[in-house]
Amino acid sequence: MLRTTRILPVFLLFLTPLITLAQATVSLNPSDEAPVIDKNIYGHFAEHLGRCIYDGLYVGEKSNIPNTEGVRNDIINALKDLKIPNLRWPGGCFADTYHWKDGVGPQSERPTIVNTWWGNVTEDNSFGTHNFLNLCEELGAEPYLAGNVGSGEVQELADWVQYVNFDGISPMSDWRKENGREKPWGVKYWGVGNEAWGCGGNMRVEYYADIYRKYATFMSDAGLEGGLYKIASGASNDDYHWTEVLMRDIPHNLLQGVALHHYSVIDWNAKGPSVGFSEDQYFKTMEQAWLMEELITKHVEIMDKYDPKGKVDLIVDEWGGWYDVMEDTNPGFLFQQNTMRDAMIAGMTLNIFHNHARRVKMANLAQVVNVLQAVILTEGEKMILTPTYHVMKMYNVHQDAQLIPIELNTPDFEFNGEKLPAVNASASKDAAGKVHISLVNIDSKKSNTVSVAVGALKLKDISATILTSKTLEDHNTFESPEKIQPEQFKKFKLKNGTLEVELPPFSVVVLEAN
């Protein structure tokens, strides 16, 4: 049975698979009214968690590892190549225990903090506001600061805004200058708390909505051109009531974005390994990744009810795969390997974000280094790029390009009587007129041929890149850092306005054409 849905820009699609080589079809439907894919969808997340900051990003200025103000140069260069548009810090759960004033001024005078959320390790606050914001400047990325609403006070957050943004005379701007920074950084993006329903205070949404209104009121624009962009702590997964109350009870002049968190987790009590997973665990992980489509659709429906003009954005500021930690590592550090399964999560999720570009304006992969679905892993002086890194780099051609709505029919990926769409896709056209088409085949066993109707676009000079490997569990290691990396792809042909692409099992392909 064939079920077809037009993707303008949402898609939901199924087709009964064939025994050997299955067939999918994609029609491109360019529209001048289609939204732009905001580059901030490609954001990242750096929490004080495990080895993300300390012994990850930050090794200190005295380290033998080449660094800039204590941040590893190899990581800086890798993130620049990734065209990272924004970086969220300092949490996560850590944000609502973090007091920013402890992390500025002479390092020798900074108090320590016990990270009660992640391993009960003692941190010395050597990485603080200046380090983070200077790193963002070096990367050319927008900083996204998550404010402490759980254990902090209104004045504390208001002071932070003034410290980093105010160019006039004030106690906070004077203090910033004393600490070595003459001009403010101009931080636009601010999270007003994090996961208020859980580690951010176990609040009821009605209570948090009032708390948000209070904090947001006292967060002055401090002369920042365009004003602050304030993001409410949003729902976990399918808590649609949470989104309903935020959109209903918070005046929209105080609210620019509503967050959503969703991880591809099989079972919070039995997440399964990051390497050595079963076919069943793979399929269930793909189910959770594909659930992002339904979650965004339903949360957006609620937002549309209260905000039909789309002035408030949906911000998916935590997403990715979450598994059991690697053996012989601190369970509070959330260190996991990154395999082709993670490449499937990344490719599928980014396609979903693209196709919801009307509302989804920012997203933050969790996390950037050594934690959860990291794009970079380190071990001493060594550094490796993960399959997720390679997918995000392949896909960054879509940043700030205009979405091309698509219509997609796909075979199913079947396992034990359950089904998922085997192929997912998105497309865009950039300012230079180049068209990019991203295709993902999540089927672990079957290749899928995709027929893309491109006649109306009159494409030529087509090239392609693929990320795939021999097994789903393949991953890069410090001994074999380039086992998985993008390669030139040639299994496609253009004939009579139709582009035929042969996708191997568990593969990601990005095509480019003029």
Please give the positions annotated as active site. 195, 318
Which long-range contacts link 412-416 to residues 24+ away (Cβ below 8 Å)? 412/14, 412/15, 412/16, 412/17, 413/17, 413/283, 413/286, 413/442, 413/443, 413/444, 413/446, 414/17, 415/279, 415/280, 415/283, 416/280, 416/283
Q: How many whole angstroms separate alpha carbon 18 and alpha carbon 20?
A: 6
The H-or-E segment that residue 133 falls in is: helix 129-139
- In SS3 terms, 274-333 reads as CCCCCHHHHHHHHHHHHHHHHHHHHHHHHHHHHCCCCCCEEEEEEEEECCCCCCCCCCCC
Q: How many whole angstroms separate alpha carbon 128 and alpha carbon 99?
A: 10
Q: Please state whether the peptide bond connecting residue 9 to the residue before it is cis, i.e. omega within 30 degrees of 0.
A: yes
The H-or-E segment that residue 7 falls in is: strand 5-7
What are the strands, taking DSSP E only, across 156-277?
A: 189-192, 229-236, 257-264
Q: How many whole angstroms separate alpha carbon 21 and alpha carbon 320?
A: 30
Coil, strand or helix at 163: helix
Q: How many whole angstroms separate alpha carbon 147 and alpha carbon 500?
A: 49
Q: Which two tokens mark 366?
A: 């969790």
The H-or-E segment that residue 135 falls in is: helix 129-139
Q: Which two tokens mark 58?
A: 């930050």
The H-or-E segment that residue 344 falls in is: helix 340-355
- The Cα diameter of the chain in Å comes to 72
Which amino acid type is present at position 6? R
Q: Which residue shows structure tokens 């974005």?
A: 257
Secondary-structure breakdown of the chain: helix, strand, coil percentages, each rounded to the nearest 5: 25, 30, 45
Coil, strand or helix at 129: helix
Cβ(224)–Cβ(186) below 8 Å = yes
Comparing CA positions, the residue from 343, 328, 372 lying closest to residue 469 is 343
Cβ(44)–Cβ(365) below 8 Å = yes
Q: Which two tokens mark 390?
A: 């390679």
Which amino acid type is present at position 179? N
